[in-house]
Amino acid sequence: MCEACRPARREELDRLDDELTELLLRRARLAAGVVADRLRGAGAVRDGAREAQVLARAARRARSPGERRLVEDLYGRLLAGVRAVGRAEADASPAPPAACPGAPRVVAVGAARFGGGALELIAGPCAVEDEAQLEQAAAAAREAGAKVLRGGAWKPRTSPRAFQGHGAPALAMLRRAADRHGLALVTEVVEPALAGPVAEVADMLQVGARSMHVPALLRAVGRAGRPVLLKRGMAATVEELVQAVDYVRDGGAEDVVLCLRGIRTFCDASRFTLDLAAGPVLRARTGLPVVVDPSHAAGRRALVAPLALAAAAAGADGLMIEVHPDPGRALSDGPQALRPDDLLALAARVRAVEAAARGPAEVTGHSGWGAG
Ligand code: PEP
Ligand code: MN
């Protein structure tokens, strides 16, 4: 090579190096973004098939085995380097947590304000049996200071032989009883097709513990245009309940109230174990009000009051309690149902505990779960 050619070749190399660097960085930034998105979305970081195609295309341009090795080596390093940049990008700005809290939410249902600072009471029978039973239970709920009547029209029973509820006629009875006593109404939706029809009648839609893991149902109640009472599954982790909230929110509902009703443990003193620690955790994690159902956790009448009082002391946003005028004749959950007088007496004690425990929460208007 002549002396005069050397500087021209160096210039050409410098120019190619600059172009190559520019191209490499453009490619790396684009691909690192893809890697970071995959990491945030918990998808697979590597797409082995695509990497093989890229390498094969690059290798086809090579004119000799040496050039091929060079291209393969460079591409291998490039892809590995890009994964490292993507990981760093994902670490620097992780995805927002699911069910991100925002401000603590107040959920209005009739006159009740869940998460509004005061403990709200929901009461009623496990299942609607007949007009007289429902009327006495609704009257007791009202007298105890409940603002929301509960009651099952369709019952998700563990055994298909057990009473399954009277269905649509019971829903109409619930509405009439709630209206007679100036109460709002919450009742359970047991299948997606019922979300719309129940939403036309009830003020709040309940998803039961047995249904918390059913995406189609969660989306359907989320789409129905009513606040949702979402019960924790008896074997669900807190994180799984948070993810169930995401399904409901995906349907469009923002007004969700969570309900602790006990989980299954090796403790055999009660039907389920009431995990009160989940209350403040869920309130902080989701911003949603968290109420407690001591009836299903207890399984026995004598244990309902201690659990209700403990929940009130812990700062629960509400209580949901089963009441029956004649528990011995109840078609479902009789052993855990309070008699009307028991409910009245318990409600007075709950108010005393609430007043003693909350204090400043009344002033700030925030849920008592976080006050401690
Ligand atoms: C209910 O509240 O009527 C009920 C069936 O409870 P859970 O879903 O918590 O068992
Ligand atoms: Mn019940």
Q: What is the C-alpha separation between 348 and 353, in angstroms, rounded?
A: 9
Q: Return the ligand 1 atom nearest residue 155 CA.
A: 5
State the pLDDT at residue 48: 74
The number of angstroms, rounded, from the C-alpha of 345 to the middle of its chain's C-alpha atoms is 33
The whole-number pLDDT of residue 288 equals 97
Q: Which ligand places an atom closest to the C-alpha of 333?
A: 2
> Closest ligand 1 atom, CA of 320?
2
Q: What is the pLDDT of residues 257-315, one digit of tens each?
A: 999 999 999 999 999 999 999 999 999 999 999 999 999 999 999 999 999 999 999 99
Exposure string for 83-98, b = 16+ CB within 10 A, e = fewer = bebbeebbeeeeeeee
pLDDT in tens, 147-187: 999 999 999 999 999 999 999 999 999 999 999 999 999 99
How many angstroms is it from 224 CA to the middle of ligand 1? 20
* Higher-scoring residue by pLDDT: 95, 327: 327
The closest of 348, 326, 349, 330 to 136, measured between CA atoms, is 326
| Token representation of residue 144 | 């105890």
Q: How far apart are CA 125 and CA 241, in angstroms?
A: 25
Protein residue with its CA nearest to atom 9 in ligand 1: 209
Distances (CA, A) of 354 to 96, 107, 293, 320, 365: 34, 19, 16, 15, 14
pLDDT at 27: 83
- Ramachandran area for residue 248 (φ above 0: left; ψ -120 to 50: alpha; else beta): alpha
**What's the pLDDT at 66?**
87
Q: Tell me what the mean pLDDT of segment 105-118 comes to.
A: 97
Measured N-to-C along each axis, helices 5-40 and 65-92 cross at an angle, to the nearest 10 degrees, of 40
Q: Write the pLDDT tens digit of every residue in 34-91.
A: 777 776 664 566 677 777 787 788 788 888 888 888 888 887 788 778 777 777 777 7
Tell me the ligand closest to 206's alpha carbon.
Answer: 1
Q: How many angstroms separate the alpha carbon of residue 154 from the centre of ligand 1?
A: 11
Looking at residue 327, its pLDDT comes to: 98
Residues ≥6 apart with Cβ < 8 Å to 243: 98, 99
Domains of the chain: 5-92 (1.20.59.10), 107-370 (3.20.20.70)
Alpha-carbon distances of 100 from 117, 222, 246, 275, 318, rounded to whole Å: 21, 17, 9, 22, 22
Angstrom distance (rounded) from CA 365 to CA 371 = 10
pLDDT of amino acid 44: 62
CA of 306 to the centre of ligand 2 (A): 18
pLDDT band at 364 (very low <50, low <70, confident <90, very high): very low
Q: Which of 154, 189, 204, 261 to mutate to test the pocket of ligand 1 (most atoms within 8 A of CB)?
A: 261
Residue 372 in this model has a pLDDT that exceeds 50: no
Q: Whose CA is nearest to atom 6 of ligand 1?
A: 208
Q: What's the whole-model pTM score?
A: 0.75
Dump pLDDT digits (tens) for 309-347. Answer: 999 999 999 999 999 999 999 999 999 999 999 999 999
Q: For 190-247, write each residue's pLDDT tens digit.
A: 999 999 999 999 999 999 999 999 999 999 999 999 999 999 999 999 999 999 999 9
Confidence of residue 103 (pLDDT cuts 50, 70, 90): confident
